[in-house]
Amino acid sequence: MRYLGNHPERMKALILTICLVCTFTALFASNPGWQPSPGHTQTTIWPGTPPDARFGPPANTETTKPGEVGNVSRPTMTVYSPKVKNTGVAIVVFPGGGYQVLAIGLEGTEVCDWLTSKGITCVLLKYRVPNTGPHWEEKCDCQVNPKAPLALEDAQRTMGLLRLHAAEYHVDPHKIGVLGFSAGGHLVTDISTHFEKRSYPAVDAADGESCRPDFAVALYPGHLWLSSYKKLELNPDVPVTRKTPPTFLLQAENDPVDSINNSLVYYIALKNAGVPVEMHLYAEGKHAFGLRPTKFPITRWPRLVETWLTTIGMIPE
């Protein structure tokens, strides 16, 4: 300090450097990331560091663009309550984005607006991305390398929390389903076939609740057909059984991103297992259309889901 005291310019430079480091450190530590609209609160789903965090993105690096979130390291759930008479039904929504980002507007908040207008509680899951699912990595025609199932862990945890706090959210714990698009559609199938055991060590009472969805809706799902196998077969990492929940599938035949074969192989597996399944295929629609109106018939798919939920006894006629 005596040396620096004799050099005021160096002292000023040191003080300035310390101030800048403290400022950027504070900003880094307090990065709020994506925030829901006023009146809604997102809740962190893990009480501490999420499991397998070393496989995910660095902490506090979440990025946002209009309608999009990236680098999610702190997964959250945001509950949107019904705007009309509560049916008691809840749906956990998984936005798509290729497991790289989350299309949290088009395939998230806009979906919650539709569901809540029908008396359904919408729970929007901001799950970890990028490169957090599926929990395998295709390397060749005969090899898949396992990865940490981070997105699945987040989905299982959210289902447990929702059931544990069902009374608080005014939800029937036996009427909780999942709905997802593209990669989120794959996550729908992942939790629909991985619910007997948690993919992480139990944390608290929420992990004692069932994480099996009571129903599932997968729209233009991906990662279900291993194209390099050159066979119309379901990815073996999605083990369909008769306990897989009733499922609704929707797909455009001209989808250039996720082949129609993804929906086909899952439909066949569900049918063979005796699982109630309804699938709709449309000639036009391509990919990532969400709920936004188009000139094609596929744009009316929300009405089909509403009818199906009535058919399976989730909502009244």
Could you please report the per-residue DSSP string of 102-153?
E-TIIIIIHHHHHHHTTT-EEEEEE--BSS--SSEEEEETTEEEE---HHHH
Tens digits of residue pLDDT in 49-69: 999 999 899 999 999 999 999
Q: How confident is the model at residue 133 (pLDDT cuts 50, 70, 90)?
A: confident
| pLDDT in the model for residue 229 | 60
The confidence band for 24, taking pLDDT boundaries of 50, 70 and 90, is very low
The predicted pLDDT at position 304 comes to 98
Cα angle 67, 112, 68; round to 5: 15
Q: What is the mean pLDDT of the chain?
A: 88
Q: For 184-211, how does the pLDDT look when each residue is reduced to its tens digit (9 = 90+)?
A: 999 999 999 999 999 999 999 999 999 9
Q: Average of pLDDT values for 109-126?
A: 98
Reported CATH class of domain 38-311? alpha beta
For residues 267 and 265, give the distance between their C-alpha atoms in angstroms, rounded to a whole number.
Answer: 5
Q: Considering only 37-46, 68-77, 225-234, which range has the smallest mean pLDDT?
A: 225-234
Which amino acid appears at position 23 of this protein? T
Q: Mean pLDDT check: name the lowest of 76-90, 106-120, 182-196, 214-228.
A: 214-228
Amino acid at 121: T
Q: How far apart are CA 219 and CA 287, in angstroms?
A: 9
Q: Which of 49, 76, 52, 51 is nearest to 62 (CA)?
A: 76
More confident position, 171 or 145 = 171
Average pLDDT on 291-303 reads 95
Angle at 127 between CA 239 and CA 85, to 5 degrees: 90
Using the predicted structure, report yes or no on whether residue 1 has a pLDDT greater than 60.
no
| Long-range residue pairs from 205-210, CB within 8 A, at least 24 positions apart, any chain | 205/164, 206/157, 206/160, 206/161, 206/163, 206/164, 207/157, 207/160, 208/160, 209/159, 209/160, 209/163, 209/164, 209/173, 210/159, 210/160, 210/163
Taking the domains of the chain in order of start, what are their residue ranges?
A: 1-30, 38-311
pLDDT at 145 over 60: no
Check if the beta carbon of residue 272 is closer than 8 Å to that of residue 302: no
What are 136's strand-pairing partners? 146
Within 13 Å of residue 298, how many CA atoms lie on the same side as its CB? 23
- Neighbour-count burial for 218-238, b at 16+ CB within 10 Å, e otherwise: bbbbbbbbbeeeeeeebbebb
Nearest to 215 by CA among 234, 188, 195, 181: 188
CA 242 to chain centre: 24
Q: What angle do CA 114, 187, 288 make, to 5 degrees?
A: 50
pLDDT value of residue 8:
52
Q: What is the pTM of this model?
A: 0.88
* Residue 264: per-residue pLDDT: 95
Mean pLDDT value across residues 88-99: 97
pLDDT of amino acid 271:
98
The larger pLDDT score, comparing residue 22 to residue 180, is at 180
